[in-house]
Amino acid sequence: MDSGVIYMSVLPTEKDFIRVFSNVFRLKNKPLLSGSEFDDCAALRLDSFSQNLFADSLTFSTDTVRESTDFPAGMTLWQRGWMTAAVNLSDLAAMGSKPVAFLFSAGLPRGFTLKDAEEFAQGIQDCVSFFGGEVIGGDTEFNEEFTITGTVIGISDNKNLILRKNAQPGDLLCVTGFTGSAGVALSVMLNKIRVPASNRFLKNIIEPFPRIFEGMMLAQSGAVNSMIDTSDGLASSVYELSALSGVFFEIDERSLPLEDEALSILSTSLKNELNGEQIGAKAQSLLVHEALYTGGDYELLFTIPQDKLSLVEELFQTLNTTAAMRFGSLSSAGKSGRSPCKFTVIGKAIAEKENVIITQSGSGEQRLPLLKMGYDSFTKYI
């Protein structure tokens, strides 16, 4: 038995870490009765929710990120904090829900200092507060691997909650932002592609920007029939909407929103293997593959009836005119390179009995089955 054997230590204790966290997450919000710095639980007053018109349901999601699978080498601790919050918020975005509160349980590795804890906590705080939520609790313990599980709590108007299962025949299939950029950025960060990339571009993967404002706007518009995020890849998300809604989709690969810098990085990486004309086609094809089958983009995939297209276009225009103002409130660490979010119609719900990808083939086009493939941490089949 260890009884009586006391190991003295100058390492920070759990309480030291919690003190640092609490200092970063200074609580300003009236509904909070008691932060979990001082008690076993954090508490929120229910009437703070019911006073909010945009709220008759609570939404919850939880997700884990960790060193070996989610933090490419070179990510700062602030960025790890931001990502921890962002991947959880992205699930709220996909329901069109408004963030209220965030809790996390952090496994911190050997040598983690109180200053490290402060920088990491600041990343969480900056992301959660930018999107309108409050960090209400954190638990921490030692772990050989840096591992953090976040839990996010949101509010929604029940009738406007957007589920995956309500896609309708004839719906247009739309996606926010760019597709495939995260996959290319990851390849650069992992040195699979030895081509320089701008910091702005790499942010796609290391500082994912959850589409909270776009999700809330789409939920309130009443125009959207179904929605999901693309964190496990676009094809995987299409299959989810399809399975739950009982409709199938065609995607036109020529309409996928591909980012110029992603194409240019892939083109540069092909220079030693191919000649000029081949390079462009191959880069395009590689990027389409990333767009469809690689995770990490954290965009919203949603379906709308055709007659709602102009309404949604107007809403995005309005949202984006206020975007610059919103980005101005980001801390300097989070600000650089953020740009307004567009959306693109990439396909539609069809009468066929499988999900289809339309590709350019010579002068004509080809309809091929969309592969059921994407990110899965168990099988890693891509």
Question: 202 with 189: CB under 8 angstroms?
Answer: yes
Which of 174, 228, 247, 304 touches its own copies (CB under 8 A)?
228
29 binds its own copies (CB under 8 A): no
CB-wise, 163 or 330, nearer to its own copies? 163
75 binds its own copies (CB under 8 A): no
Positive or negative, the CA dihedral 252, 255, 261, 267 is positive
Q: In angstroms, rounded to a whole number, what is the distance separating the alpha carbons of residues 238 and 19?
A: 44
CB of 277 to its own copies, least distance (A): 20
**Residue corresponding to tokens 């809403």:** 315
Of 146, 140, 148, which is closest to residue 13 (Cα–Cα)? 140
Stretch that binds its own copies, among 39-47, 76-84, 119-127, 194-202 (CB under 8 A): 39-47
Q: How far is CA 14 from the centre of its chain?
A: 30
Which of 314, 352, 365, 376 touches its own copies (CB under 8 A)?
376
Q: In angstroms, rounded to a whole number, what is the distance separating the alpha carbons of residues 225 and 162?
A: 7
Task: Tell me the site size for its own copies, rule CB under 8 A.
Answer: 94
Stretch that binds its own copies, among 58-66, 168-176, 328-336, 362-370 (CB under 8 A): 58-66
Question: For residue 345, with 0-12 CB atoms within 10 Å meaning exposed, 13-18 middle and 19 or more buried, which class applies?
Answer: middle
313 binds its own copies (CB under 8 A): no
CB-wise, 145 or 352, nearer to its own copies? 145
Stretch that binds its own copies, among 122-130, 148-156, 328-336, 355-363 (CB under 8 A): 148-156
Task: Return left, alpha or beta for 82; rule: phi > 0 is left, psi -120 to 50 is alpha, else beta.
Answer: alpha
Question: 345 with 238: CB under 8 angstroms?
Answer: no
Which of 19, 27, 29, 34 touches its own copies (CB under 8 A)?
34
Which of 103, 127, 185, 216 touches its own copies (CB under 8 A)?
103
42 binds its own copies (CB under 8 A): yes
Which of 119, 229, 253, 261 touches its own copies (CB under 8 A)?
229
Q: In angstroms, rounded to a whole number, what is the distance separating the alpha carbons of residues 150 and 382?
A: 26
111 binds its own copies (CB under 8 A): no
